[in-house]
Structure 1
Amino acid sequence: MTIQKRLALATLAAAGAIFAPAALATPEDSAQQLVRKAISHLKASGLQQACADFGDPAKGYMAGASYVFIQDMHAKMVCNPSNPRIVGKDLTELKDVDGFAFSRDMTRIAKASGSGWVEYKWVNPATGKLQQKKSYVERSDDYVVGAGFYK
């Protein structure tokens, strides 16, 4: 094998090692990365600007049915670009079709361990259909920042 072929193969192998993990990211990985990116932006830009940016598809915080949402530590919705009607509402008693108070659980997880996963049924904004949703939530100061995906 010539040196040129060896170099070409080594270059391809290195490129595969760099780009393959991103291509193989799970929905869970993507949700966690989105939340961490959102928290960084929230801290750098402040709540008002961050919420505006989370609702702008060009800013990279929305992808299909995935979006960033923020609630306070009392389960009051602060930012939800997918459903602005619930912004400002206390969601402590909001339940999915199975009776699960998922917003309250998000707050509990954020207070108890700082981050975690919550599964519940919610309307997928891309399809308008009720689906199982898995959301990753992480505490950032006095907020619970989350993003999820539909199964």
Structure 2
Amino acid sequence: MNRFPKSSGLAALAVVAAALLAQPALAQNATKDDAVAMVKKGITFIKANGKDKGYAEITAKSPQFIKHDLYLVVYGLDGKCLAHGANEKQVGRDLIELKDIDGKPFVRERTELGRSKPNGFWQDYKFTNPTTKKIEPKQMYCERLDETIVCGGIYK
């Protein structure tokens, strides 16, 4: 004999179903192909609209430059952050000495790779995932645009 009214069971089932349906949206990660496509899209936008508008759109978290945990960043070859799709407080800062949790100077490495591999490269380091808020291994795809590097990364 069921001690709970049918409506209580349905309400509980609805809550569980809603929670399960919400999980995939939170757990989705962008792919390497997504990162490459997003960087190319960002470069095309900056070339078509100019640096000021391009950097502003990236930093404003424009939906065209965000996909799941993927966002764009733009650095000058000197290590200055020019646009940041996850943390606008970084814009304008010289981050050349920034290191990941393992002590890897990833911004310095990125600028060096940008000088030596202008047609694109992948970089591994650890960074805080904006969706999980945890430090995770990350792969950043970057391409050089003039004296800048446009990058988008995936979490592994």
Q: Letter of the aligned partner of 1:44 in structure 2?
A: A
Tell me the equivalent position of 1:96: 100
Match of 1:43 among 37, 44, 47: 47
Structure 1 runs of 4+ aligned residues shifted over 6 Å read none
* Native 8 Å contact 1:65 1:125 kept in 2: yes
Please list the CA deviations of residues 103-129 of structure 1 after superposition, one character each: whole Å capped at 9, or x if unmatched: 111111110011201111100111111
Report if the CA contact (8 A) 1:56-1:62 is conserved.
Answer: no
What are the ranges of 5 or more consecutive residues in structure 2 without an aligned counterpart? 1-29
Q: What does residue range 1-150 of structure 1 map to in structure 2 within 5 Å?
A: 27-56=31-60, 59-114=63-118, 115-150=120-155
TM-score (normalised: structure 1): 0.78
In the comparison of the two structures, how many residue pairs are matched?
A: 126
TM-score by length of 2: 0.76
Describe the SS at the equivalent of 2:71.
strand
Shift of 1:51: 1.9
Deviations 1:69-103 (A, max 9, x none): 10001111000020111111111110001010111
Using the TM superposition, name which of 48-57 and 61-70 deviates more: 48-57
Counterpart AA for 1:113: K
Mark the structure with the bigger radius of gyration.
2
Which residue in 2 is equivalent to 1:18?
none
Q: Give identity over the alignment, percent.
A: 33
8 Å CA contact 2:81, 2:93 repeated in 1 = yes
Q: CA deviation at 1:58?
A: 5.1
Alignment RMSD (CA, Å): 1.4
